[in-house]
Structure 1
Amino acid sequence: MSNVVNIAAYKFVPLDELPVLRAEMLARAQAAELKGTILLAEEGINLFLAGTATGIESWLQWLQSDPRFAELEVKYSFSDHVPFRKMLVKIKREIIRMNHPAIQPRAGRAPAVAPTTLARWLEQGQDDEGRPIVMLDTRNAFEVDEGTFEGAIDWRIDRFTQFPEAVLANRGSLEGKTVVSFCTGGIRCEKAAIFMAEAGIDHVYQLDGGILKYFEETGGRGFKGNCFVFDERVALDPSLAPTAEPGEASQ
């Protein structure tokens, strides 16, 4: 049985005194013997951590005692080995870089579609109002190559900062349809959905919790291949099992 717990989570929430928060998070994570990466910015937190069940839960209990993180939604997966070598806490300008400072998810989320609802839409070929569904992959091309939803739009971007330009260049092809943006864990598709709505595209949703939550709740119905992850597991299959187990992590 896989005995390493891996978690991924993010939240757009106003944060201040980042150096103090960074130091405390690092100390708590090291005390819990966790490894991975936590990104902090004034707009929120993004994290990928691995450790024992006890270590993960004790750290999460501490983190969620802070009202700012009390409603943090955590996605779990399991592996035989820790896929990170270090414990890093970094302060960034954005927790996911888009270079559009006016896009502020903390001011209000874009509409989200639950994984089970999306699976039903895909199976019936339309949303509940009869509009055709367009799945829009907001990830980088090399991630898409590992796996994506069948028939998804892939603009072959190399980095997320190219996404806004791609939207504006292809806006006409999205009109009159229900557009569902998706990504690994939800953070990119949340910003993407807000940008598209502000660009005047109607009927835009984000896939709540991203591909990882979709795998967890639906088993990956309609998804072809695996979901790329940024650690030594390389990718997770629809059962959330890693496609690679390195034995010695080297983040």
Structure 2
Amino acid sequence: MAIYKFADLPDAEALQPILAKFCCSHAIKGTLILAPEGINGTVAGTDADIDALADMLFAGPDFAGRLAGAEVKYSSAAEMPFLRMKVRLKPEIVTLRAPEANPSKQVGTYVEPENWNALIERNDVVLVDTRNDYEVGLGTFQRALDPATQTFTEFKDYVAQNLDPARDKKVAMFCTGGIRCEKASSYLLSQGFEEVFHLKGGILKYLEVVPEAESRFAGECFVFDERVSVGHGLVEGDATLCRACRHPLTADDRAHEDYVEGVKCPHCVDDAAKHAAATERQKQMDLARQRGGAHLGDDAVQAAKRARAAKKADAEASRERNKAG
């Protein structure tokens, strides 16, 4: 279950041990972030245990209905994809460092994926991708502006330098799953922008429900798990990760002269420290293979391959559960 919700949780610190104890008692693993502004994270467990967690979050006395209407996505995996359970307490669930951005108080207009194309094709709408540069590099919507940020906190500077509420009367924004856009839209409204729109459910929901023949999204969508990227229908994409710098790699990146599998890529070619660590890790994996054993990194790769196969088989069932929810 992937979940996020901007909600007033001034008691987040008190909720942390309660939520951690509940998840551990139900053998649920993953990461949940609690902050005074809400909750965000992804966890895994059996169907029954995840249902129990949903009841605790949405109908239980601890959160007292404050998480009602949360954005929730369900998916399946052949094996437990997480090693442990972590409930982290942070100042923000999405770090922007702009107190004036409060989605619980004001937020832009949600646009359903089915209505997104009509909006972004209008000449009076400025379309902005709120994700970071390495994510945009894999794929984005046609004619979208790229802020070229490395962290979300830099988005404020991009707005100040490139957008003008007196000129840009209508701004549409999007991100991976919708959470960054909620905060970005709240920030723009606080800066005097009149009409701000954002894609409900993000790129992932768009790729899930909009037919490929009608899609305005070009490329693949970066995701923060071993799939690395997905395409239309949420089918696993072609991108891989550089094991040295964790930058997503396209087919062209992997064909580059500076690419060495498991060691370096064109994006970290000048970082000798990362190369040394990656080289040692690759050496240990190779030695484990020669001994007929398994290295932790090897296990992760093999587990990822099994999970990918299972995810493809389970994709339709997951979509049906999301619709039912």
Opposite residue 68 of structure 1, the aligned amino acid is R
**Alignment-derived partner of residue 145 in structure 1:** 137
**Alignment-derived partner of residue 15 in structure 1:** 9
**Alpha carbons of structure 1 residues 134 and 99: separation in structure 2 relative to 1, 3 Å:** same
Matched, 1:35 2:29: yes
Matched, 1:165 2:220: no
Structure 2 counterparts to residues 96-111 of structure 1, below 5 A: 96-111=94-109
Which protein has greater RCO, CA pairs closer than 8 Å, 6+ apart? Answer: 1
* Mapped partners of 1:121, 1:164: distance in 2: 24
Q: How many residues align?
A: 237
Matched, 1:70 2:68: yes
* Mapped partners of 1:78, 1:142: distance in 2: 27
**Alignment-derived partner of residue 49 in structure 1:** 43
Q: Unaligned 5+ residue runs, structure 2?
A: 241-299, 305-325
Structure 2 counterparts to residues 1-251 of structure 1, below 5 A: 7-66=1-60, 67-122=65-120, 125-126=121-122, 131-172=123-164, 175-176=167-168, 178-219=170-211, 221-243=215-237, 246-248=301-303
**Alpha carbons of structure 1 residues 39 and 146: separation in structure 2 relative to 1, 3 Å:** same
Opposite residue 196 of structure 1, the aligned amino acid is L
Opposite residue 170 of structure 1, the aligned amino acid is N
* Mapped partners of 2:67, 2:203: distance in 1: 22
Q: Which is worse superposed, 193-202 or 104-113?
A: 193-202
TM normalised by structure 1 equals 0.84
* Mapped partners of 1:24, 1:116: distance in 2: 39
Asked whether the equivalents of residues 173 and 197 of structure 2 are also in contact (C-alpha less than 8 Å), the reply is yes
Q: Quick check: which one's helix share is greater? A: 2
* Mapped partners of 1:147, 1:82: distance in 2: 29
Q: Quick check: which one's strand share is greater? A: 1
Deviations 1:84-142 (A, max 9, x none): 322211000111110111211111322221111113334xx22xxxx433321111111
Asked whether the equivalents of residues 79 and 241 of structure 1 are also in contact (C-alpha less than 8 Å), the reply is no
Opposite residue 142 of structure 1, the aligned amino acid is Y
- Between the aligned residues of both structures, percent identity stands at 38
Asked whether the equivalents of residues 138 and 181 of structure 1 are also in contact (C-alpha less than 8 Å), the reply is yes
Offset of residue 246 of structure 1: 3.9
Offset of residue 174 of structure 1: 9.1
Asked whether the equivalents of residues 3 and 70 of structure 2 are also in contact (C-alpha less than 8 Å), the reply is yes
Q: Unaligned 5+ residue runs, structure 1?
A: 1-6
Opposite residue 154 of structure 1, the aligned amino acid is D
**Alignment-derived partner of residue 4 in structure 1:** none
* Mapped partners of 2:16, 2:219: distance in 1: 36
**Alpha carbons of structure 1 residues 247 and 35: separation in structure 2 relative to 1, 3 Å:** farther
**Alignment-derived partner of residue 258 in structure 2:** none
CA RMSD, Structure 1 to Structure 2 (Å): 2.4
Asked whether the equivalents of residues 181 and 189 of structure 1 are also in contact (C-alpha less than 8 Å), the reply is yes
* Mapped partners of 1:173, 1:103: distance in 2: 16
**Alignment-derived partner of residue 3 in structure 1:** none
Opposite residue 140 of structure 1, the aligned amino acid is N
* Mapped partners of 1:234, 1:164: distance in 2: 27
Opposite residue 77 of structure 1, the aligned amino acid is S
